[in-house]
Amino acid sequence: MVLAEWKEAVLAAIARACRAAFHRDPEGLEAGFPPEVGLGDFAVACFPLARPFRMSPAEIAARIAAAASPEPPVAAIRAAGPYLNVALQPAAFFGASIAALREAGDRLGNSAAGAGRRVMVEYLSPNTNKPLHLGHLRNAALGIAITRLLEATGHRVIPAILINDRGVHICKSMLAWQRFAGGATPASEGMKGDHFVGRWYVRYAIEAEKDPSLEPAVQEMLQRWEAGDPEILALWKTMNGWVYEGFAETYRRFGMRFEVVYYESETYKLGKDVIADGLARGVFTRDERGNTVFVLPEKPFGREKDGSPKRVTVLRPDGTSLYITQDIGTAIRKVTEHALDSSVYVVGSEQEHHFHCLFAILEALGFPWARACRHLSYGMVYLPEGKMKSREGKVVDADDLIEGMVELAAEEIRRRDPEGRLAAEEIRRRAETIGVGAIKFYLLRVRPAQSIHFDPAESISFDGFTGPYCQYAYARIFGILEKAAERGIAEESADFGRLGNPEETLLLRHLLQFPEEVAAAAAEFSPARLAVHVFNTARAFNQFYNRHAVLQAETAGLAAARLALIRATALVLKRGLELLGLEVLENM
């Protein structure tokens, strides 16, 4: 049985007792876990009955408990002030719960909440003038997790990426390479393509401080690109190709997957026709300078300090686009091409106003799906030296961070293998899973809106609120199950009636809550909620295992029952980590 079915059984038992005590059905009662394990398996507050029964909740609880004649699977109903604490028969509670968890298997946590709905999740949005950095990794971690959570709740999710492949910042790398590279290539320098191009972006910043003539040269190059100059387009395609090759390697290593790829060079002209039509219909107006503007509704945008309406420019007087111009066109293109019900944009918190404006404009243009669009805003990522920078070359590159984390994981693995039994390839394989998982979990464990101070040493720790801690709990269980198989302990002989101590009960609670936590994390667009639950489950397992023998339990039936309990725990840990984008290891 799943958690909802247990709650129904508990409420049905209380309803029978209520009818016996008061000859009427209770309404508005809810069952949940009591704050302390020793109080019972479920608790029900009687406050909703006080007014209709014209009696204090404590007296109501006492009379219901006195009238109760529990039937299986309920073992006892006891009053505790205004609460009714319900104990279930351990054999039924543990046995049926574990059976349901194991039957769900890889589908654990799945639901049909979003069945039939098509959602595009756009994330990452890199520039083709430099490699990805730590901020991109937070964006990617959120995009991956949200995609998987929405898929688990029945949505048809289309992961997408918009690559910023044009503009003056791209031309800066191109001009610096043209002037200073001497024909060097990623192959000749032995560098990943994105890092190679990023070198020239940094070089431009250095040279521009000494040579003011570079700025107009960049503007000229941009104009030549927009005019379709064959020489500039060829260089642009070559350098972007180097970047894409580098990006692909980082995508693979971090587990990013995109079904749809948009390029700014193909979308920056979108939206102009829509704005022209909106201008004719009165959705937009022109200001005194000739800009095409949208007057923002007073609710929720408010007014300017002088009392005038707030406005957002959607087209310049000369007809050139702004970012919001192309975002209007791209949003419509997404829905048209992919029959979407909604779009999710994973973009930093500095763009919150931009997306509020975008969604308001789309709604004013007559697109009802705009109300279902969502900006998943997230905070900055900081390191000990402060906020990340890129122009000065001080950015924390994603590849460097990943490699550094993998090496930290490898050091820990070697420390735990003093005899050197593991081959170098196996150490590397495990370290890759642990290192990448450590980054993802650390970036996901707080709510998206919060800024993060990323601590590499803390994130890789096998103790505490970390990915490796959860992965290690899974590996620990797998090791126990292997030993059990070697000893021929059959879980079919499980005596679930022997279970029920506080640690076992707390662990079972976490397992039963897992589907609800997945649904809540998806509905709230907060992978942090699931990360907390996975960690709490791992911690509950460790607390159980540190206090109670499994393979050496008092009886074979108890050993088998505990094995079944921890096998179900492994299912929850694996599924939870997978939904967060982490892989598990059977040995660490």
Residue 8 is part of a domain; what is its CATH number?
3.30.1360.70
Residue ending a domain, choose from 67, 88, 109 = 88
CATH value at residue 545? 1.10.730.10
Q: Which two tokens stand for residue 580?
A: 């967060």
What is the model's pLDDT at position 392? Answer: 45
Q: Does residue 109 lie in a domain region?
A: no
Residue 293 domain-assigned (yes or no): no
Q: At 587, list the tokens.
A: 């040995």
Q: Report in angstroms the alpha-carbon separations of 426 from 70, 469, 587.
A: 55, 20, 10
Per-residue model confidence (pLDDT) at position 391? 44
Classify each residue of 467-492 as buried b or exposed e, where b means 16 or more C-beta atoms within 10 Å of its C-beta. Answer: bbbbbbbbbbbbebbeebeeeebebe
Note whether residue 17 is domain-resident.
Answer: yes
Cβ atoms 83, 43 nearer than 8 A: yes
Four-residue CA torsion sign, 213, 215, 219, 225? positive
pLDDT digits (tens, 9 = 90+) for 202-255: 999 999 999 999 999 999 999 999 999 999 999 999 999 999 999 999 999 999
pLDDT at 394: 59
Q: Does residue 568 fall inside a structural domain? A: yes
Q: Is residue 367 part of a domain?
A: no
pLDDT at 382: 87
Which among 88, 111, 139 is the end of a domain? 88
pLDDT in tens, the chain (588 residues): 899 999 999 999 999 999 999 999 999 999 999 999 999 999 999 999 999 999 999 999 999 999 999 999 999 999 999 999 999 999 999 999 999 999 999 999 999 999 999 999 999 999 999 999 999 999 999 999 999 999 999 999 999 999 999 999 999 999 999 999 999 999 999 999 999 999 999 999 999 999 999 999 999 999 999 999 999 999 999 999 999 999 999 999 999 999 999 999 999 889 999 999 999 999 999 999 999 999 999 999 999 999 999 999 999 999 888 999 999 999 999 999 999 999 999 999 999 999 999 999 999 999 999 999 999 999 999 876 644 444 444 568 999 999 999 999 999 999 999 999 999 999 999 999 999 999 999 999 999 999 999 999 999 999 999 999 999 999 999 999 999 999 999 899 999 999 999 999 999 999 999 999 999 999 999 999 999 999 999 999 999 999 999 999 999 999 999 999 999 999 999 999 999 999 999 998
- 96 occurs within a structural domain: no
User: Residue 52: how many CB atoms within 10 A of its CB?
Assistant: 12
Examine residue 333 and state whether it is found in any structural domain, yes or no. Answer: no
- In the prediction, which pLDDT does 87 show? 98
Domain boundary residue among 55, 88, 121? 88
* Domain coverage including residue 498: 437-579
The pLDDT of residue 388: 41
Domain count, the chain: 2
According to DSSP, the residues that pair with 122 across neighbouring strands are 160, 345
Cβ proximity of 437 and 583 under 8 Å: yes
Answer yes or no: is 360 within a domain. no
